[in-house]
Protein backbone atom coordinates (compact mmCIF):
# COMPACT_ATOMS: atom_id res chain seq x y z
CA UNK A 1 0.00 0.00 0.00
CA UNK A 2 2.97 2.36 0.66
CA UNK A 3 5.22 1.15 -2.15
CA UNK A 4 7.71 -0.46 0.21
CA UNK A 5 9.83 -3.42 -0.82
CA UNK A 6 12.32 -5.66 0.89
CA UNK A 7 14.91 -8.31 0.18
CA UNK A 8 14.81 -11.42 2.35
CA UNK A 9 17.74 -13.75 2.70
CA UNK A 10 17.13 -17.12 4.29
CA UNK A 11 19.65 -19.68 5.40
CA UNK A 12 19.11 -23.39 5.77
CA UNK A 13 20.14 -24.58 9.20
CA UNK A 14 18.39 -27.84 10.09
CA UNK A 15 17.57 -31.01 8.24
CA UNK A 16 14.88 -33.42 9.39
CA UNK A 17 15.71 -36.06 11.97
CA UNK A 18 15.32 -39.58 10.60
CA UNK A 19 15.01 -42.42 13.10
CA UNK A 20 17.37 -45.22 12.18
CA UNK A 21 15.89 -48.70 11.84
CA UNK A 22 18.40 -50.09 14.36
CA UNK A 23 17.55 -47.49 16.99
CA UNK A 24 13.81 -48.03 16.48
CA UNK A 25 14.23 -51.80 16.96
CA UNK A 26 16.32 -51.30 20.11
CA UNK A 27 13.71 -48.85 21.38
CA UNK A 28 10.89 -51.29 20.80
CA UNK A 29 12.70 -54.02 22.76
CA UNK A 30 13.42 -51.60 25.61
CA UNK A 31 9.80 -50.43 25.82
CA UNK A 32 8.51 -54.02 25.89
CA UNK A 33 10.50 -54.57 29.11
CA UNK A 34 8.85 -51.70 31.00
CA UNK A 35 5.51 -52.37 32.64
CA UNK A 36 3.23 -49.37 32.21
CA UNK A 37 5.02 -47.93 29.18
CA UNK A 38 3.53 -48.21 25.70
CA UNK A 39 5.16 -47.36 22.40
CA UNK A 40 3.00 -45.26 20.11
CA UNK A 41 4.05 -44.82 16.50
CA UNK A 42 3.34 -41.45 14.91
CA UNK A 43 3.42 -40.27 11.35
CA UNK A 44 6.28 -38.01 10.43
CA UNK A 45 6.08 -34.43 11.62
CA UNK A 46 7.96 -31.29 10.70
CA UNK A 47 9.99 -30.99 13.89
CA UNK A 48 13.72 -30.66 13.51
CA UNK A 49 16.76 -29.31 15.26
CA UNK A 50 20.50 -29.82 15.19
CA UNK A 51 20.07 -33.35 16.58
CA UNK A 52 19.88 -34.37 12.91
CA UNK A 53 23.67 -34.00 12.81
CA UNK A 54 24.03 -36.89 15.26
CA UNK A 55 21.49 -39.17 13.61
CA UNK A 56 22.93 -38.45 10.18
CA UNK A 57 26.42 -39.43 11.34
CA UNK A 58 25.74 -42.21 13.88
CA UNK A 59 22.08 -43.21 13.64
CA UNK A 60 19.63 -42.72 16.46
CA UNK A 61 16.10 -41.56 17.01
CA UNK A 62 13.76 -39.19 18.71
CA UNK A 63 11.59 -40.66 21.44
CA UNK A 64 8.91 -38.55 23.09
CA UNK A 65 7.67 -39.18 26.62
CA UNK A 66 4.15 -37.94 27.29
CA UNK A 67 3.88 -35.99 30.53
CA UNK A 68 0.46 -34.36 30.23
CA UNK A 69 -1.89 -37.23 31.12
CA UNK A 70 -4.49 -35.65 28.85
CA UNK A 71 -5.68 -33.17 31.45
CA UNK A 72 -7.85 -30.42 29.98
CA UNK A 73 -5.82 -27.71 31.77
CA UNK A 74 -2.50 -28.97 30.37
CA UNK A 75 -0.52 -26.42 28.40
CA UNK A 76 1.97 -27.36 25.70
CA UNK A 77 5.70 -27.40 26.35
CA UNK A 78 7.34 -23.97 26.05
CA UNK A 79 4.13 -22.31 27.24
CA UNK A 80 4.69 -20.17 30.36
CA UNK A 81 1.93 -22.07 32.21
CA UNK A 82 3.26 -25.52 31.30
CA UNK A 83 3.59 -27.80 34.32
CA UNK A 84 5.17 -31.19 33.86
CA UNK A 85 3.54 -34.19 35.50
CA UNK A 86 6.58 -35.79 37.13
CA UNK A 87 5.04 -39.26 37.49
CA UNK A 88 5.91 -40.36 33.92
CA UNK A 89 9.55 -39.27 34.31
CA UNK A 90 10.38 -42.55 36.05
CA UNK A 91 9.42 -44.34 32.82
CA UNK A 92 11.69 -42.08 30.83
CA UNK A 93 14.63 -42.78 33.13
CA UNK A 94 14.04 -46.52 32.97
CA UNK A 95 13.63 -46.33 29.20
CA UNK A 96 17.04 -44.69 28.74
CA UNK A 97 18.73 -47.31 30.94
CA UNK A 98 17.06 -50.20 29.13
CA UNK A 99 17.74 -48.66 25.73
CA UNK A 100 21.45 -48.35 26.57
CA UNK A 101 21.59 -51.93 27.86
CA UNK A 102 19.81 -53.27 24.77
CA UNK A 103 22.02 -51.27 22.45
CA UNK A 104 25.22 -52.41 24.22
CA UNK A 105 24.04 -56.02 24.52
CA UNK A 106 23.87 -56.26 28.31
* pLDDT 10s digits, 16-73: 888 899 999 999 999 999 998 888 887 777 666 788 888 889 989 888 887 766 777 7
* The pLDDT of residue 93: 95
pLDDT tier, 84 (very low <50, low <70, confident <90, very high otherwise): confident
For residues 17 and 63, the answer to whether their CB atoms sit within 8 Å is no
CB atoms within 10 A of CB 85: 12
Amino acid sequence: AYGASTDIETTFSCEPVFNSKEAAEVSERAVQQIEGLTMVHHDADVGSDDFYLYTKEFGGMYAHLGTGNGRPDQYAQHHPKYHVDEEPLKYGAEYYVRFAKEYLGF
